[in-house]
Every structure is written in C-alpha cells, then in structure tokens.
Structure 1
C-alpha cells in the first residue's frame, strides 16, 4: 500500500487515475460499469475512457491502497466487483486537487487543422466542413445544457463546469462562423487556392511549379 513520502508526495499517476478517484469520491460503492456510465458525461469536459482503461486505473489505484474492492456473488452470473475510495485515496485526491500543476489543455482540433491547410483544399468542401462542425457543436451544446439542468442544484461544481463547457461551445460556434465569413471573403475576392493554381497549370501543360 502506498503511503505519502516524507515531503507529502504521492505516487506519480496520470490525470485519468485522479478522474476515477474523483468519481469514486462522490460516495457510493460502484461497479466499473457504473463508472463508465458516469464518465460518459465527462466527455464534455475532459475524457471518455474505454471500459478497459477504467479497469486498468482501478487496478492501479487498488495497488496503491487508494481504492477498496470487494465482490458480491450473483447466482448464475459472474461475481459483481464493487469499488469504493479509501481514506488514503481521499487524501491523495485532495493533494492532487491542491497541488497539481496548472497546464494548458491539450487541443487537437481536426477542423481547425484542415482550415490551416486550406490553400490545398476545395473552398466549397472546406465551407461544408465548417458548417458541419457548427451543426455538430450546436448538438453538443444542447446536450450539455440539458446535462447542466440535471446537475443543478444537487451537484453545483459539476454544474459550474457544465456552464464553462457551454461557454466553450458557444465560442466555438462563433469562431467557426467567423471562419466561414473569412473564407467567403477570401474566395469572393478572387484569391485562388494553391490547389486551383496547380490544377490550372496542369491543364495548361506546364506542370506544377518547382519549389525553390
């Protein structure tokens, strides 16, 4: 069982392990499947792990003494495994909340990446991609707004994060619409893309321009 080091430190663990501890800190003894269902609502804020990932983190936490596991027999079915956070787990989780470094979020925005390379794209297809993203984001916003309504008032802190997420999605919608307007302005000004210029050169038989 892991114990705090003399300087108050705890074993190095990924943020996902602490997310599992956090879900368990709400109190009830739960199964890994229950955690997976709860974690699906966290996809708006942080991560949506696979079932195998949750069980992997539960094993890690159990080895450190941060989670207690016991089984309940089920006639004709596999035993049910139930998990509960320990006092050591609560201490480790609070230490992480108080002392974890503040770092930038990991942003992997595939639509923004495609826009970044728009000089090679078909402008009409790029516009469709941005509009599709606006539609998808509006759907996520509607789901999150519904979730926040169900979180309030019993779970005020998750509700605050849900409100944060709503602001994020609204900003994404505004940014995507601004990008569409910028694309329309750029294409409307008659600026050809590299893709269009390359196609024109090929039709003229000159071939693509060589890089210097």
Structure 2
C-alpha cells in the first residue's frame, strides 16, 4: 500500500486497486478491495498514511496520502530489507508432475490453455509498456512491465516446449507397454537422494 502511495499523489482505495491491477498484476498478487481498505486504515493508525474525505464529486471518497514517516519507512525497507527469492506456485506444472493421474488428452488441454493465457498476459504487458513511454516518472514501472512482457513470452515458449515433450513422453510410455505407472519403491527414492547428496559434496565450492 505504501508503495502505491509513494508517487506523491493522494489516492482512494479504489485508485490503489486500479493501480495494482494495472501494473503489479503481472508479477505480484492483487489483494481484494476489503484487504486494501483494512490495510489503509491500519497504516493510518500507525501514522504511515493520512486521509481526508473528498466531497467534491458525486459521492464522497476517502483519499489517502503517504506521510513523511511512511515514506521514510518504505525507503528504508526498499533499500535495506532482505530481498526474498520469488516463490513459484505453478499449477500447470504441478499437473504435469501428476501426469500419471490425468485422463487422456487432459494434460495437453491444460498446457494449451496455459500457453494461450501466457500469450494474453504478454500482449497486455506490451500494451501497458507502450502507454508508459511518455511519462519519465513511470520509467521504473516501464522496466517492470518490460520484464513482465519478456517473462510471459518465455512462459509461453516453455509451455509450448512442454507440449512437444509431452508427445515424446507419451510415445515412450506407449512403447513400454505399461498402461499404469507405478512409482519406484521408497527405498529407491532414498537411494537416489543419497546419490544426489554425494554428488553435491563432490562439487567444488
């Protein structure tokens, strides 16, 4: 919330949600309106934002602005806090991992849908990149959007590669004559784990 208000302008909760949907949705989850409003109230209690009621329009709106304390805290966080690595929760790939449970053709259908989704997101990011070009203040936002465009282009290519690899896997399994796949016994899993650990120990640091 503080990041959305750090540009200097005062925003309503609705404005914050629209800004998040516009720029951050490509790489960060978008909170619900209820989360946004409750968080803005919490930040105001902490003295990190201030608010006023604007009655100039057809309906009154509560407008929020970041305070000097809030900006100082946000700046310190951006510069000094540990940057956590991204956590990937990739549902299509999870379905690939569980491919032995999938009905015939269903996994391909999921991957085709995911490739189409990635291409739609790439196109949306590319459109927003164009609309940031005329505003120097949006230069950093433009960098993030350009990264998003490239990310979804790569995601599309990876999905298409998975579809191609799926063909090869299905041909190999069909040639093996096994209709059902059974995982190796757990002792084998532990043996593989030991071999991987030993391999890591042999690698130079």
Q: What is the TM-score of this pair, normalised by structure 1?
A: 0.78
How far is 1:34 from its partner?
Answer: 0.9
How far is 1:191 from its partner?
Answer: 5.0
Offset from partner CA, 1:9-57 (integer Å, 9 cap, x none)? xxxxxxxxxxx11111112112111111111121112121111111111
Q: In structure 2, what is the equivalent of residue 96 of structure 1? A: 77
Q: In structure 2, what is the equivalent of residue 35 of structure 1? A: 16
Offset from partner CA, 1:172-208 (integer Å, 9 cap, x none)? 11211111111101112325798x428xxxxxxxxx9
How far is 1:76 from its partner?
Answer: 7.7
Q: In structure 2, what is the equivalent of residue 51 of structure 1? A: 33
Q: 1:191 to 1:117 in 2, by over 3 A?
A: farther
Q: 1:173 to 1:61 in 2, by over 3 A?
A: same
- 1:67-106 equivalence runs, <5 A: 67-73=49-55, 77=59, 79-106=60-87
- State the aligned residue count: 180
Q: In structure 1, what is the equivalent of residue 164 of structure 2? A: 181
- Unpaired stretches in structure 1, ≥5 consecutive residues: 1-19, 199-207
- Equivalent residue for 1:116, pick from 72, 97, 103: 97
CA–CA distance in structure 2, aligned partners of residues 103 and 75 of structure 1: 42
- 2:59 maps to 1:64: no
- 2:163 maps to 1:163: no
Q: 1:76 to 1:142 in 2, by over 3 A?
A: closer
- Equivalent residue for 1:151, pick from 127, 132, 143: 132
- Unpaired stretches in structure 2, ≥5 consecutive residues: 187-205
Q: 1:187 to 1:104 in 2, by over 3 A?
A: same
Q: Could you say which structure has the higher helix fraction?
A: 2
CA–CA distance in structure 1, aligned partners of residues 167 and 92 of structure 2: 17
Q: 1:141 to 1:76 in 2, by over 3 A?
A: closer
CA–CA distance in structure 2, aligned partners of residues 160 and 179 of structure 1: 28
CA–CA distance in structure 2, aligned partners of residues 160 and 52 of structure 1: 29
Runs of 4+ displaced beyond 3 Å? 73-77, 191-194
- Equivalent residue for 1:126, pick from 107, 110, 113: 107
Offset from partner CA, 1:81-130 (integer Å, 9 cap, x none)? 11111111110110010012121112111101000111121342111110
